[in-house]
Structure 1
Amino acid sequence: MADMWESCQKSLIFNPVVTMGTQISCILVMSQFFYLALKPLGQPGPIAQILAGVVLGPSGLSRIGVLKDFFFQNSATNYYQTMAVMARVVFMFLIGLELDIPYIMRHLRLAGTIACGGGVMCSIFAAAISPFIYRQFDSQGSMFSFVLVLMMMIANTASPVVVRIITDLKLATSNVGRLAISSALVNDMACLLLLSILRFFQPGNETLWRKLLEVIGVIIFVVVIVIVNNRLAFWLNRRNRNRKYLKNAEVYCILALLFGTSMAIEAYGQNSMIPCFVLGVMLPREGKTIRTLLHKLGFFVHNFVLPIYFGYTGFQMDLTQLGSIRSISVVVVMVVLSIGGKISGTLAACHYLKLPLSEGVVLAFLLNLKGFVDLLVISIASETHKWGPEVYTVLLTTIVINTLIVGPIAAFIVNKERKSFGYRHMALESQDPESELRMLACVHGVRNLSIMVELIGALSGSRDAPIVPYLMHLVEFPDKPRTDLTYHQQENANEDFSDAEEYGVNDEVEINDAVDAFSSETGILIRQMKAVAAFETMFEDVCNTAEEIRASIILIPFHKHQRIDGKMENGKEGIRTTNHRVLRHAPCSVALLVDRGLGGTPQASSLDSSLDTDQHVATLFFGGPDDREALAFGRRIGVHSRINLTVIRFLHESSRDAGIDVASHQDDHVLMRFSSHGTENEVDNAFLSDFYSRYVTTGQVGYVEKLVNDGAETATALREMGDMYSLFIVGKGGRGHSPVTTGMSDWEECPELGTVGDLLASPEFDIRGSVLVIQRHRHSKNDLMDEE
Structure 2
Amino acid sequence: MVVSKWVLNKINERNPEGKPMKGIYIISLMVAVLCLCFAATFLHMDPNLAAFMIGLALPREGRATRFLINNLHFFLNYVILPLYLVYVSLSVRHSELRTNPNIDYVINMPLRWHKLLIAVTIGTVGKIFGTVAVGLFFGMKWLDAIALGQLLSIKGYYHIFCANEAWKHFMINDTTFVAMLCMIMITSATAPLVAYGMAAWKRRKERSQLMSLQFHRSGTELQIMVGLQGPQNLPIALTLVEAIGWTKEPGKVTLYAIDMIELTERAAATLVRGEGAEAVEVADTEVMDVRYQIGEALEAFQKENKDGVNVKRLQAISSLDDMDRDICMCAKDVMAVLILIPFHKCQRMDGLMDTGHDGFQLVNQKVLQHASCSVGIIIDRGFGHMNQASLSLVGKNVVVVFIGGGDDREALTLAAEMSQHPAIKLTVVRFLPAIETHVNTTMQSSTFHHLKQSFTSDAEIQMQLDDEFFADFYRMHITNKGVEYMEKHVTDAEELVMELHALESQYELFVVGKGRDRKSVLTDGLEAWTEYPELGHVGDIIASSEFSTTASVLVIQQYDARKHYDVIDDEFRPF
Pairwise same-fold verdict (TM > 0.5): yes
Instruction: Tell me whether 244-253 or 406-415 shows the greater mean CA deviation.
Output: 406-415
Conservation of the 8 A alpha-carbon contact between 2:4 and 2:59: no
Aligned partner of 1:613 in structure 2 is 394
Distance 1:369 1:354 in 2: 21
Q: Which of 371, 374, 394 pairs up with 1:586?
A: 371
Aligned partner of 1:300 in structure 2 is 71
Q: Which of 308, 321, 335 pairs up with 1:550?
A: 335
Displacement of 1:732 after TM fit? 0.6
Displacement of 1:436 after TM fit? 2.0
Aligned partner of 1:563 in structure 2 is 348
TM-score by length of 1: 0.55
How do 1:61-460 residues align onto structure 2 when only pairs under 5 Å count?
Answer: 222=1, 224-225=2-3, 227-229=5-7, 231-233=9-11, 235-236=13-14, 244-254=19-29, 271=50, 273=52, 276-277=55-56, 279-281=58-60, 283-284=61-62, 290=63, 294=66, 296-297=67-68, 300-308=71-79, 310-312=81-83, 314-315=85-86, 316-317=88-89, 329-343=114-128, 362-373=147-158, 388-391=169-172, 400-409=181-190, 411-412=192-193, 415=196, 419-422=200-203, 424=207, 426-460=211-245
Aligned partner of 2:533 in structure 1 is 751
Which secondary structure does the structure 1 equivalent of 2:393 belong to? coil
Distance 1:630 1:761 in 2: 16
Distance 2:252 2:514 in 1: 26
- Read off the aligned partner of 2:224 and give its amino acid letter: M
Q: Which of 242, 245, 256 pairs up with 1:470?
A: 256
**Unpaired stretches in structure 1, ≥5 consecutive residues:** 1-221, 285-289, 656-677, 784-788
Displacement of 1:773 after TM fit? 0.7
Conservation of the 8 A alpha-carbon contact between 1:620 and 1:648: yes
Residue 286 of structure 2 is aligned to residue 511 of structure 1? no
Displacement of 1:741 after TM fit? 3.5
Specify whether residues 680 and 541 from structure 1 end up closer, same or farther in structure 2 by C-alpha distance, changes over 3 A only: closer
Residue 386 of structure 2 is aligned to residue 603 of structure 1? yes
Residue 305 of structure 2 is aligned to residue 531 of structure 1? no
Identity %: 26
Specify whether residues 337 and 754 from structure 1 end up closer, same or farther in structure 2 by C-alpha distance, changes over 3 A only: same
Specify whether residues 518 and 485 from structure 1 end up closer, same or farther in structure 2 by C-alpha distance, changes over 3 A only: farther
Conservation of the 8 A alpha-carbon contact between 2:345 and 2:356: yes
Displacement of 1:761 after TM fit? 0.7
Distance 1:428 1:308 in 2: 47
Distance 1:517 1:406 in 2: 45
Aligned partner of 1:142 in structure 2 is none
**Unpaired stretches in structure 2, ≥5 consecutive residues:** 97-108, 437-459, 567-575
TM-score by length of 2: 0.73
Displacement of 1:372 after TM fit? 4.5
Distance 1:539 1:526 in 2: 22
Displacement of 1:718 after TM fit? 3.2
Q: Which of 431, 435, 444 pairs up with 1:650?
A: 431
Specify whether residues 247 and 680 from structure 1 end up closer, same or farther in structure 2 by C-alpha distance, changes over 3 A only: closer
- Read off the aligned partner of 2:299 and give its amino acid letter: D
- Read off the aligned partner of 2:343 and give its amino acid letter: F
Conservation of the 8 A alpha-carbon contact between 1:226 and 1:279: yes
Distance 2:39 2:391 in 1: 43
Distance 2:123 2:406 in 1: 50
- Read off the aligned partner of 1:247 and give its amino acid letter: K
Which secondary structure does the structure 1 equivalent of 2:217 belong to? coil
Conservation of the 8 A alpha-carbon contact between 2:501 and 2:547: yes
Instruction: Indicate the structure with greater helix content.
Output: 1
Aligned partner of 1:116 in structure 2 is none
Instruction: Tell me whether 259-268 or 524-533 shows the greater mean CA deviation.
Output: 259-268
Which secondary structure does the structure 1 equivalent of 2:280 belong to? coil
Specify whether residues 536 and 615 from structure 1 end up closer, same or farther in structure 2 by C-alpha distance, changes over 3 A only: same
Q: Which of 717, 721, 725 pairs up with 2:503?
A: 721
Aligned partner of 1:777 in structure 2 is 559
Displacement of 1:393 after TM fit? 6.4
Q: Which of 704, 714, 729 pairs up with 2:485?
A: 704
Distance 2:80 2:286 in 1: 36
Displacement of 1:594 after TM fit? 0.4
Distance 1:478 1:552 in 2: 30
Cα-to-partner distance string for 1:397-442 (whole Å, 9 max, x where unaligned): 5664444333444533554687544484622222113322333322
Q: How many corresponding residue pairs?
A: 515
Cα-to-partner distance string for 1:601-648 (whole Å, 9 max, x where unaligned): x727xx866643333333333221112222333344344454344444
Displacement of 1:560 after TM fit? 1.7
- Read off the aligned partner of 1:702 and give its amino acid letter: V
Specify whether residues 463 and 508 from structure 1 end up closer, same or farther in structure 2 by C-alpha distance, changes over 3 A only: same
Aligned partner of 1:625 in structure 2 is 406
Which secondary structure does the structure 2 equivalent of 1:570 belong to? coil
Cα-to-partner distance string for 1:671-692 (whole Å, 9 max, x where unaligned): xxxxxxx997333344445555
Cα-to-partner distance string for 1:426-478 (whole Å, 9 max, x where unaligned): 22222113322333322222332332333333343222562332223223345
Aligned partner of 2:280 in structure 1 is 495
Specify whether residues 345 and 688 from structure 1 end up closer, same or farther in structure 2 by C-alpha distance, changes over 3 A only: farther
Cα RMSD, aligned residues only = 4.5
Instruction: Tell me whether 524-533 or 621-630 shows the greater mean CA deviation.
Output: 524-533
Displacement of 1:571 after TM fit? 0.9
Displacement of 1:387 after TM fit? 7.8
Specify whether residues 649 and 326 from structure 1 end up closer, same or farther in structure 2 by C-alpha distance, changes over 3 A only: same
- Read off the aligned partner of 2:411 and give its amino acid letter: A
Distance 1:622 1:274 in 2: 64
